[in-house]
A and B are shown apart, each in its own frame.
Chain A
């Protein structure tokens, strides 16, 4: 029997789900190897148990924690899908504000305290339940998604690249943005996106999270040349993961 796969979304932009539709003709191939039993955005229907659940988005309310725990109970494997799920993504910018009340008042003004508007600090999926595999990226890289699904179907836990975006960037023969006077987080960010931002002449913002052992990184020289410390560059990791931590 084909593995039963489901997609669930929590607080996020749903851009990572959209990458499934963006597989275009490849969707047909995907549907041949897995049975998509629940995917609210594209089909009507539900199921009781799942072989693999993909969780998109971050967790911001107690009731969402409960919903996630329930999905976990009914799933053999659970994948954190996209940066919102793997690290909290942009949604964790909320946590940088020392006062949740201020956050709520900024958006809802005098109505901030209405019961249906309550919120909590943003959490990544693995701050609530056990995660078996991670697919980082904001949005996820479609090729990587296909690879991960393939290995899961074959019963392997997929491995993520353990080197920085710089390696992919050099491979694409880009001129380093540091040479153009810009700061780029590709130095310490986990590869896997084929250095898509620097290749479009835009600095890496670190959406895929920190690579393992960034201090052993051969690119360390570039930091020295630019009078930057690893800590300083970590402090720049606020757009996509307010508290950088290696995942996966």
Chain B
């Protein structure tokens, strides 16, 4: 093969969740094929839950994804609550937000620290960095552990939470536990700044590639939206009610993927930390904005998909600060346990939650006994697959001159930047 011809075939990209392949063929400088393929085995969750009791929906759909099980749990509970008209107290909602941000921090640190950063250092995993950058790795482990401990304390378990239930909680943390957590979170701010510094020191390795796309996320007048809000598209002025989510996602089957693809106003859109950043920058906390500015990010939208990893670092800071504020609010009012009050009834309801990789939708329909008749789940990564493909289609012609090895590295790094949850996307 001359250097104007190359075949890049990556079977099962490493350091991502689930199975994805890259297939690129260039023949005498002519691009013959560019494909992002998802051969992941479908598990058929939307069929599995039909006929199940409403109380089973969250524990079952939580198993769609180990990394964002908390996000799935809340999307599921909110959809059931919307279908049956169940509301929560502000305290119980804030506790949910605290747990959700435990997952934001856990997942972002895992991705930025363990999975993406090795690319910047050109090593095959985080293990060699234990030798060369021990202090930074220990800080990353410490933050990861803290986020997981929060999930243990609030949710009862780090992965697949136990205390979360329809209408509220089966059990609450103690005030003492919250006070301790808050103190540790306050200390973690410095650690996060240090980790941001490490990422910044190698940020020069982030490829200079941009492609503007449609960015879709939640948005809320009161906060940088994660737990609740309306749908925002960067291409549309007015926010869209979550109940109309099907008009936004427009899922369709593509032969190169077992996960469905989505599109709204363009051929593809992005749902990610970067999408949230671009849509809701103004509502970030001052410190998270400062961290963003260290990387040259500001109020202007960023169109470099590789910068998603940086947006995750920024959001980690936000998650910590927001958690401290939520704990303060709860302690100030005094913690009270109220047993969920549920009246089972027939109905249909949709919900959306921002999980680490972007916006997540669940929708269910129940009969009068609370038996599930229909379920639909739209996952952030399944919304991103089409966008990864479109990024590839711009990146390959622009960078094919760098040679096979380098181009393959850039493509793999791009996939990793999306932090894809591939088995979750196929579910």
Contacts and interface: CB of A to CB of B under 8 A. Distances in A.
B15 A138 contact: no
B384 interface: no
Given A14-B17, A17-B66, A42-B125, A106 B44 contact: yes
A239 B60 CA distance: 7
Interface string A8-34: 011111111111011011011001000
Contacts of B257: 116
Given A201-B163, A202-B170, A14 B66 contact: yes
Interface stretch (A71-79, A107-115, A124-132, A156-164): A107-115
Contacts of A154: none
Interface string A200-233: 1110010000000000000000000000000000
Interface in A124-176: 138-139
A246 interface: no
Contacts of A15: 63, 65-67, 69, 159-160
A109 B170 CA distance: 37
A48 B39 CA distance: 23
A43 B125 contact: yes
A97 B51 CA distance: 10
B157 interface: yes
A69 interface: no
Interface stretch (B90-98, B140-148, B237-245, B362-370): B140-148
Interface of B is mostly: loop
Contacts of B50: 97, 106
Contacts of B60: 90, 93, 239
Given A24-B141, A24-B148, A117 B253 contact: yes
Contact of A41 (B17, B59, B159): B17
A196 B156 contact: yes
A25 B126 CA distance: 13
Contacts of A31: 127
A34 B141 CA distance: 20
B43 A91 contact: yes
A27 B63 CA distance: 24
A64 interface: yes
Contacts of B141: 24-25, 27
Contacts of A93: 48-49, 52, 60
A53 interface: no
Nearest to A14: B66
Contacts of B52: 93
A18 B356 CA distance: 15
Q: Which of B14, B45, B257 has the most CB of A within 10 A?
A: B14
B114 interface: yes
Contact of A14 (B59, B67, B115, B158): B67
B15 to A, nearest CB: 6
B66 A44 contact: no
A40 B13 CA distance: 8
Contacts of B17: 14, 41
B118 to A, nearest CB: 8
A119 B125 contact: no
B148 A116 contact: no
A186 interface: no
A117 to B, nearest CB: 6
B366 to A, nearest CB: 16
Given A93-B60, A138-B160, A25 B125 contact: no
B47 A94 contact: yes
B357 to A, nearest CB: 14
Interface of A: 9-19, 21-22, 24-25, 27-28, 31, 40-45, 60-61, 64, 89-91, 93-94, 97, 102-104, 106-109, 111, 114, 116-117, 119, 138-139, 196-197, 199-202, 205, 239
21 contacts: A13-B63, A13-B69, A14-B66, A14-B423, A15-B65, A15-B159, A19-B158, A24-B144, A25-B145, A41-B16, A42-B115, A43-B14, A44-B15, A61-B41, A64-B41, A89-B63, A103-B47, A117-B258, A119-B42, A139-B66, A199-B156
Given A17-B66, A94-B48, A196-B157, 11 more contacts: A12-B423, A15-B66, A18-B67, A22-B159, A25-B141, A42-B125, A43-B14, A60-B42, A114-B255, A116-B256, A200-B170
